[in-house]
Structure 1
Amino acid sequence: MIKKGLAAFILLISIFSCKKEASKTSQEKVEIDTMSKTEHAKSLFRPVDTVCFSSNTTENYIIALQWHKDKIIKKVAQNSPRQNDKLYEDYIKIRNKYILCLSENLVKVLIDYVNYYDSNSNSYKFPENVKKLAAELKKGDLEFREIGEGYTEIWSVPDHYFSIFRDNVTADYNSYIEQLAKESEGLYSADAGIVISWKELGDRTIFWENFISKYPQSLLLPRAKEIYDSYLTDYLLGMDNTPTHEHSDGTLYDENRKEFNRIIKKYPNSYVAKKSKELISLFDAKVPDEEIHKKMMDRNSK
């Protein structure tokens, strides 16, 4: 009798275990099927086109940006550095097109953005709709950026590209992308004046001079030279609202003379140092302002 009872008990346990296992298997199958359907849906999804349409919403463009970012990250992991150089160029074009579309959609917000600045508290006070838009842009690694003279634009966050392509492109591209990430952390100029310090401008100019020398065959050379020429001109002569000298009497400002001497001492063999020496000599010799500008703009002596 005891043996029969024990056998029945074991049978019940076996049946219960089988049902439990079957239930577990069924649940796992449902989860796998759900995952498969989700992956299938993702594979079929296509973002809105880069051609701007007023019917597309901010959310449409943000989803598109996220989709392209995920796609690029997967490709970067599979590609060679040289292939990723090309991928970087293509990706920039795609993002810029979407940013243009977003800017068209949000043109009123961009125009009104500076009006949200409260001079009493020395800070911005945004309405809820702008706060929500800023949060939405952040999902696409974008931000509102005031660029001076009442203008606001939509920019990629500084480290967006470098966070994706870091150490996965050729050396010149890696250096280029990293430097652009650093330089876009804040405004360079606004309201016809240089915002960063003279020292930082000097160091940036040296960086691009070294980049040009180090990577003479780089496909990035034209862009690097353009950046370098712009920085060098600003470093030597300044901008309308931040000149390096007094126009009325041709006196070089002390802070700029000090900065030029720093560059001359630290980078004596650089072209920046050469032009800085030349500029100091010209001002000390009381050469007319117009003639000094002409000489400083001359790149043929490089």
Structure 2
Amino acid sequence: MKLKHIIAIVPFVLFSCNNGNLLNDEGSGESISNSPNFELQNKKSQEIIKQIDEKQHTLKTKLKKTKGKNADNLYLEYSKLLNSLIKELETNEYNSLSIYNKWENEIAPDSIQKKMELYDKLQIKIIENNDGSYNLKYRPGFYYDMFKYKASKDLREYLKLATLQRKKPIVVDGLINEDWSEISNRLIIWENFIKNNPNSAYKEDAKGKYLELIQLYLFGNKNERSYSIDTKKIEPLTEQEYMNFVKKYGKTTTGIITKNFLDFFYTNDKNFSSEEFHKKITEYTNQEIEKEMKKF
């Protein structure tokens, strides 16, 4: 199907904006929703964009007058609200997002370029997922840059770690983009955050990020496994990383889980068929992860 035909059937949001009126990174300038030139064909998207713009402006105004726990409360309130609005916008923009990659190597139509400019001003990015689909999210560091001089130490640390996770993702296009040692470094960082902040409002989210990383560390993913299912052999470089890590961090939660994984692996690799062994070690390791994480 030719590009012009695709454009004809998709109800794109059209933006006609004066860039001088768009909200800038510091929150100064006239609000998007107050711009006389702000028009969208998709009325639902128009309303959502207005709400995002207004909520951002309100948050930045309130943040100027507060700090510490009060700033933390603003983060909890507005991050939930803004993220919900972005998710709603993403759902409403499904048609245009679903064929966004059609313009990666071609000049995008004016309507799409205007949309990208507006997203940029609101610091919203189109993120490609491993399956080729697209989502809308705030740029990495959006909340950290806003709250780093206002929030409590707890929130500052959490946002800094979450920003690193997004700016330097371990998995890119389904492939593990870093050495296995970088995964273990991230695990120790998240483990320390969880243990040092037992009453953190962000603890459960941090535990979710830790769980995702520990499973990646021990199993890899479908494109790059830590061990061969067929031969029941751990990849040599990965095996060396495990041994170095256990030697250095054996008393940590991550070290204990890794050691138990290795012990089970070496004890049982000859006792089962390839598929049975893969099933057994997966079940055992996930049980160990769950058990150790309950101690957090």
Pair 1:55-2:43 in alignment: yes
Among 134, 147, 161, the alignment partner of 1:152 is 134
Identity %: 21
Among 174, 196, 200, the alignment partner of 1:214 is 196
Contact 1:149 1:190 in 2 (8 A): no
Among 101, 104, 111, the alignment partner of 1:114 is 101
Pair 1:92-2:79 in alignment: yes
Which string of whole-angstrom CA distances, capped at 9 and with x for unpartnered residues, describes residues 49-100 of structure 1?
xxxx952444x54444333223212222322411111110111122123212
Instruction: Report the RMSD for the aligned CA atoms in angstroms.
Output: 2.8
Structure 1 residue 223: Cα displacement: 1.7
For residues 154 and 291 of structure 1, the distance between their equivalents in structure 2, rounded to whole angstroms, comes to 38
Which blocks of at least 5 consecutive residues in structure 1 are unaligned?
Answer: 1-41, 48-52, 119-123
Within a 5 Å distance, the mapping from 1:114-193 to structure 2 comes to 114-118=101-105, 126-189=108-171, 193=175
Contact 1:63 1:140 in 2 (8 A): no
Secondary structure of 1:155's match?
strand
Higher Cα Rg: structure 1 or 2?
A: 1
Alignment TM-score, normalising by the size of structure 1: 0.73
Other-structure match for 2:54: 67
Which blocks of at least 5 consecutive residues in structure 2 are unaligned?
Answer: 1-29, 36-40, 270-276
Which string of whole-angstrom CA distances, capped at 9 and with x for unpartnered residues, describes residues 200-239 of structure 1?
2222211111111101111222222222122112211122
Query: Kindly tell me: are residues 57 and 294 of structure 1, through their superposed partners in 2, closer, same or farther at Cα, counting changes over 3 Å?
Result: closer
Contact 1:66 1:139 in 2 (8 A): no
Which string of whole-angstrom CA distances, capped at 9 and with x for unpartnered residues, describes residues 222-262 of structure 1?
22222212211221112222211000121001221132234
Pair 1:300-2:282 in alignment: no
Structure of higher RCO (CA pairs closer than 8 Å, 6+ residues apart): 2
Query: Kindly tell me: are residues 241 and 102 of structure 1, through their superposed partners in 2, closer, same or farther at Cα, counting changes over 3 Å?
Result: same
Alignment TM-score, normalising by the size of structure 2: 0.74
For residues 138 and 242 of structure 2, the distance between their equivalents in structure 1, rounded to whole angstroms, comes to 33
AA of the residue aligned to 2:81: I
